[in-house]
Structure 1
């Protein structure tokens, strides 16, 4: 069973780090205001505004921000400012015993997927695939459902997603249960052959993507299929594939590509969850138990936190 972090309460202090790229200062300021408006105190990572090429500081600096937030007993949750590139560069340098001994809410998505999978593999700890502080909560206007999804960190209630809420559609019929794993397709694929390789056996696999043409999605799904990751999953949830359109013809659509591989895998599969690079952007706790039924078009997810 995965380790669940303790939920937040008003007055708690939370940390913000940038394991990938450096956030825009104005967007981060708005994101900080969002958190403060929910009754939280904020501590910024020392290197959150550092710039080193396309990274928010050197590998050592970004690693130090991650370690210091987990080490700091005052910090109750750690939120990533934005995604970008390069998160995987620090994965093999992390002190996973430090993380395991200090379980906290860890929240982000996109390039942060690699850390979610690494932490899951090394610590068996629930982490949250959710909107970024700068690039999502730091927008001029934030969708109300994106704001509402943040409330799950304050309680330990399960979430139920239905076709009435999200226009869920069945791809492959069936029902299944298992702990959630996955995230961004590109980052999932990049774990293959490493010590952080995604484990899908008996789990519900979630995938999302942005700005990849159908042929690139085809290549990645084919690699996951040949590696046995699709057919070993108990079920598959398809999130948002934002701007995944062909730049030339002839081409398959991304929907045709995804459907092809999910039918090859033959496991229950559903699409329509607004999770990923989309608006609204719903957060889900990776590592929590989930259940899905394509005939009822419903997805049930256990809480990712525990009460004090």
Structure 2
């Protein structure tokens, strides 16, 4: 059973954490006024934000404690990830899912945070948000207004339709499909396979995105999803942004389009590609675990609200 978090109101406190890698300090500093001044929120910062342990924002226990503390704090109404990076899978098995189930609230992020989205939603039913983050998106000098506008989803219980007004969309396979949204970063989705947090795509609209992966790497991951039955289980597929995923040696590589056709088109599932969701600008947020309807003829995806 899915549970939607409560919508934010002006003056609410939001917690900012780094459950994966450490954020860029200057970019985070630039982003915080967006929360405070533009959105009218108060901010509580996690302790791990300034930590560094190799490519991690501190030891696993410190990052896990920040996550637990923010969900346990009754004054905190949303938990926002400052950035992605590496390492969320390391803490998934130790998360107190009962704590999250008892304290449902907005959880927001993408990229490496995909592992936590999958783990949290499948263990608690909580609807979470795959959305642009503070240091990696909002804190950039040339942040797109649409990226910022995504945060308005947290304040209003309003249905949203993604159309070609946002970005050109192409039908890979014609059809209409509906189901709960599931997915995120392809690398992280694939890394859940064979674990207690293996992604469930049965009857769902699977959305995928990635960055800095060559076509042969995307081929390997999609093949693994195919063999695991995740493509055939899905009701439909949304191909989102694959940023800088071109081959280094074009003369010795399939193109990204060829790889996508081999797996997405041949899956026979209704599929649209071109969504500005992921490591891109603008970067649009969508809730995970809510019902959505994809219509390839109309080139639209209509998504129910992620908050209540």
What whole-Å deviation, never above 9, does each CA across 1:280-306 have from its counterpart, x for those lacking one? 000000001000000111110000000
SS in 2 for 1:14: strand
What whole-Å deviation, never above 9, does each CA across 1:6-50 have from its counterpart, x for those lacking one? 010100000000001111211111111110121000000012110
In structure 1, what is the Cα distance between the partners aligned to 2:95 and 2:46?
Answer: 16
Please tell me whether residue 185 in structure 1 is matched to residue 186 in structure 2.
yes
Q: TM-score, normalised by structure 1?
A: 0.98
Aligned to 2:28: 28
Aligned to 2:9: 9
**Equivalent pair of 1:2/1:124 in contact (CA under 8 Å):** yes
In the TM superposition, residue 141 of structure 1 has moved relative to its aligned partner by 2.5
SS in 1 for 2:162: strand
SS in 1 for 2:135: coil
In structure 1, what is the Cα distance between the partners aligned to 2:104 and 2:91?
Answer: 19
* Misfit runs of 4+, over 4 Å: none
Aligned to 2:207: 206
Please tell me whether residue 285 in structure 1 is matched to residue 291 in structure 2.
no
In structure 1, what is the Cα distance between the partners aligned to 2:255 and 2:128?
Answer: 32
In structure 1, what is the Cα distance between the partners aligned to 2:225 and 2:142?
Answer: 37
**Equivalent pair of 1:163/1:169 in contact (CA under 8 Å):** no
**Equivalent pair of 1:27/1:139 in contact (CA under 8 Å):** yes
Aligned to 2:268: 266
Please tell me whether residue 63 in structure 1 is matched to residue 64 in structure 2.
yes
Q: TM-score, normalised by structure 2?
A: 0.98
Aligned to 1:228: 229
Please tell me whether residue 154 in structure 1 is matched to residue 155 in structure 2.
yes
SS in 2 for 1:135: helix
What whole-Å deviation, never above 9, does each CA across 1:223-276 have from its counterpart, x for those lacking one? 000110001100000000000011112211112101210122110000111000
In the TM superposition, residue 164 of structure 1 has moved relative to its aligned partner by 3.3
In the TM superposition, residue 165 of structure 1 has moved relative to its aligned partner by 2.9
In structure 2, what is the Cα distance between the partners aligned to 1:132 and 1:289?
Answer: 23
Aligned to 2:253: 251
Could you tell which deviates more after superposition, 211-220 or 245-254?
245-254
In structure 1, what is the Cα distance between the partners aligned to 2:164 and 2:28?
Answer: 34
In structure 2, what is the Cα distance between the partners aligned to 1:165 and 1:136?
Answer: 18
In structure 2, what is the Cα distance between the partners aligned to 1:165 and 1:71?
Answer: 37
Aligned length, in residue pairs: 306
Structure 1: segments with no counterpart, 5+ residues: none
Structure 2: segments with no counterpart, 5+ residues: none
Please provide the CA RMSD for this pair. 0.7
In structure 2, what is the Cα distance between the partners aligned to 1:165 and 1:148?
Answer: 12
SS in 1 for 2:77: strand
SS in 2 for 1:209: strand
In the TM superposition, residue 178 of structure 1 has moved relative to its aligned partner by 0.2
In structure 2, what is the Cα distance between the partners aligned to 1:163 and 1:143?
Answer: 17
